[in-house]
Amino acid sequence: MSKIVDAATAVASIPNGSTVGCVGVIGWVTPDALLRALGERFRKTSGPSALTFYFPVGTGDAQGIKGMDHVAQEGLMKRIVSGSYINPVDPTTGKRPELMRLIRENKVEAYS
């Protein structure tokens, strides 16, 4: 049996209340497909919910790699622990990452 699965299958077994560790620095080595699949799963099924995320620094950039913004959704993300939350403004939209709004509005717990 192969242990290689697609992104949707990989995130299908994450239960509510789990802790998720993630690698990546800005856009480098960011598992964007996995984070996208997890965000899509939540939008379709409302699960998993109340997850805690550990990111070394803000993952994702403003050049097409959304990184943690895929999972920056109320209900999906309960808390985040990260080394920093600095991400560039998206040159197309002029907006900061969605995660920053959730933090400012106290929709998620954020620790650094």
What is the pLDDT of the chain when averaged over all its residues?
89
**Residues 19-49: tens digit of each pLDDT:** 999 988 777 888 999 999 999 999 999 999 9
Query: In this predicted structure, what is the pLDDT of residue 61?
Result: 67
How far CA 21 is from CA of 2, 11, 35, in Å, comes to: 23, 13, 11
Residue 70 located in a structural domain: yes
For the entire predicted model, the pTM comes to 0.90
Residue 9 located in a structural domain: no
Residue 4 located in a structural domain: no
Residue 8 located in a structural domain: no
**Residues 69-88: tens digit of each pLDDT:** 899 999 999 999 998 877 77
How far CA 18 is from CA of 21, 51, 60, 80, 88, in Å, comes to: 10, 5, 21, 12, 28
Query: In this predicted structure, what is the pLDDT of residue 62?
Result: 62
**pLDDT tops 70 at residue 107:** yes
How many structural domains does the chain have? 1
Query: In this predicted structure, what is the pLDDT of residue 17?
Result: 98
